[in-house]
Amino acid sequence: MSTYVITVPGTFLSDLTDSARVTVEQRLRSADPHRTALGKQEDLDVLTVNDNGTFSIHVEVEADDSRTAERRARETAAGALREAGYTPEQAPLGPAVVTGIDNQA
């Protein structure tokens, strides 16, 4: 099994409140990529939000292959957004991509 750093892009179609941001970040804390060498080196924040509402969620997942890692990352991201009160229509996600593989985590 390998440790993958996965990026899941998306767009907030309704405003991101401070409390919702805290909820998303707390929900993603266990998957924070800062525990990996790549996450530390690139200083990847678990949630990056741009002025236009687009965002990137960076998470660390354990998986046997990249397809499984991408699926788990999307599920993790969607769950965090759902817990913060966002439906898939309010914060649609784009395709997850492998940002890096860290076999030393």
Query: Which pLDDT belongs to residue 98?
Result: 95
Report the predicted TM-score, pTM, of the whole model to 2 decimal places: 0.88
Instruction: Please give the share of the chain, as a percent, with pLDDT higher than 90.
Output: 74
Tell me the sheet residues that pair with 81. Answer: none
Quick one: average pLDDT of 70-87? 97
Examine the pLDDT at 104 and tell me if it is beyond 60.
Answer: no
Quick one: average pLDDT of 2-30? 94
Examine the pLDDT at 40 and tell me if it is beyond 80.
Answer: no
Examine the pLDDT at 55 and tell me if it is beyond 90.
Answer: yes
Burial tier of 71 (Cβ tally within 10 Å: 0-12, 13-18, 19+): middle
The answer to whether the beta carbons of residues 3 and 102 sit under 8 Å apart is yes
